[in-house]
A and B are shown apart, each in its own frame.
Chain A
């Protein structure tokens, strides 16, 4: 165990190195770029024995990842924003072909207007591709999530790709202490990849990615849904094992001072650190507020969210994304699945700062709701 003061991008690259992927096809894009640079350096220095493929676009990066995964090897890639959008069609292929690829996504807004700053629009817009998604709060969680995701994705009951989403700049370019586990410890948790089912094997010839007529397509899609459901148990099992080996606990949702809370704020990613501070302040003043951090967004942990918030008077859902004409994605899903009074808040789009004052404002607005969805931090409301 070594504690280093590094950025979350550096932590992600260390995680990828520890997972020992045989192929890394990657294309640089702000704010993911340093992940691809760190990995290139590891390979060039001989610290990581991987085929590092310099591709000409993100579409090619994920296509090469699918091709490599189809030969039965462990694959890592990383992207962000416009790059993730360019990957869109192949994201469906990766999930449909049941390739257990793990990808880091440095969350960044989508153009237009062009912006390189953080929000969750890029990965939220890929929620229906069949990828599992985890949103992380700090560099340590980013590193640990990459390792956990390989175990979950490669489980024979799952065989689905995973996306580890980390907030652009807020995490990717901020340095903080990160415990980098030893290779030995990681090897005991994440053994060498043994391809299970869908891969090219000369000893056992088969065709991948074939055309399916209406007799087969729907069954294949149903299998993916079943795998997504089965992944819930696998996630639980892997988290338990991770905690035993590394001493850090992860669950699909994390409750912070939710007991006895009248109002619970629900959010994903780095914003949870700010909310935690505000919850402490407000609790200190006798106000009964709590935080529910959602880690795993796909599969959606509706049972766990319900259990955490069922006794609250109201919940406030913070979304760093907007499905135009409907509201934030997390809010609408909570509204649809969980029987609790809820208010939706659109925050921090394109890197707009979210301050403790904004969070308090959200709590107050939830206490006396005037509308279903409120945009926070706007300079002017039209």
Chain B
């Protein structure tokens, strides 16, 4: 540790901490079923789904909110 008192010296360094490793269940989107309603984009608490509906697995913690909010059941949570 090169800092004193747990100080973080590098701004924006939270990116280094890939929280995707916390995940037990992984959301899988079936783009054939997707109606592009944007519910998953809006409800994702981590901002891990972009406008093209690509899921950022580096930071997705696998909470499963997207699966619940998807009106056409296009997202399924699968065990890692």
Contact B7 A197 (CB under 8 A): yes
Interface of B is mostly: loop
- Chain A residues numbered 278-337 whose CB sits less than 8 Å from any CB in chain B: none
Contact B4 A208 (CB under 8 A): no
Q: Mark A96-126, 1 if CB is under 8 A from B, else 0.
A: 1110000000000000000000000000000
Q: Mark A180-220, 1 if CB is under 8 A from B, else 0.
A: 00000000000000001110000011111110100011011
Contact B1 A210 (CB under 8 A): no
Judged by a CB distance under 8 angstroms, whether B9 is at the interface is yes
> What's the nearest-Cβ distance from chain B to residue A72, in Å?
12
- Chain B residues numbered 5-19 whose CB sits less than 8 Å from any CB in chain A: 5-11
A208 to B6, CA, bound (A): 7
Judged by a CB distance under 8 angstroms, whether A71 is at the interface is no
- When distances are taken between beta carbons in the complex, the residues of chain B under 8 Å from A159 are 4-5
Judged by a CB distance under 8 angstroms, whether A273 is at the interface is no
Interface residues on A, range: 20 to 34
- When distances are taken between beta carbons in the complex, the residues of chain B under 8 Å from A355 are none
Q: Mark B1-41, 1 if CB is under 8 A from A, else 0.
A: 10111111111000000000000000000000000000000
How many pairs of A and B residues are in contact by the CB < 8 Å rule? 47
Interface residues on B, range: 10 to 19
A196 to B3, CA, bound (A): 11
Contact B4 A197 (CB under 8 A): yes
> What's the nearest-Cβ distance from chain B to residue A239, in Å?
24
> What's the nearest-Cβ distance from chain B to residue A168, in Å?
32
- When distances are taken between beta carbons in the complex, the residues of chain A under 8 Å from B8 are 206-208, 210
> What's the nearest-Cβ distance from chain B to residue A75, in Å?
15
- When distances are taken between beta carbons in the complex, the residues of chain A under 8 Å from B11 are 205-207
Judged by a CB distance under 8 angstroms, whether A223 is at the interface is yes
Residue of A nearest to B9 (CB): A206
A219 to B11, CA, bound (A): 21
Known: A205-B11, A206-B9. A98 touches B1 (CB 8 A): no
> What's the nearest-Cβ distance from chain B to residue A149, in Å?
19
Contact A207 B7 (CB under 8 A): yes
- When distances are taken between beta carbons in the complex, the residues of chain A under 8 Å from B7 are 197-198, 206-208, 210
Residue of B nearest to A220 (CB): B6
23 inter-chain pairs at a CB distance below 8 angstroms, sorted by A residue, are A96-B5, A97-B6, A98-B5, A159-B4, A159-B5, A196-B4, A197-B4, A198-B5, A198-B7, A204-B9, A206-B8, A206-B9, A206-B10, A206-B11, A207-B7, A208-B5, A208-B8, A210-B6, A212-B6, A216-B1, A219-B1, A220-B6, A223-B1
Extra A-B contacts (20), CB below 8 Å, given A198-B5, A205-B11, A208-B7:
A97-B5, A159-B4, A196-B4, A197-B7, A198-B3, A198-B4, A198-B7, A206-B8, A206-B10, A206-B11, A207-B7, A208-B6, A208-B8, A210-B6, A210-B7, A212-B6, A216-B1, A217-B6, A220-B5, A223-B4
Binding site for B on A (CB under 8 A): 96-98, 159, 196-198, 204-210, 212, 216-217, 219-220, 223
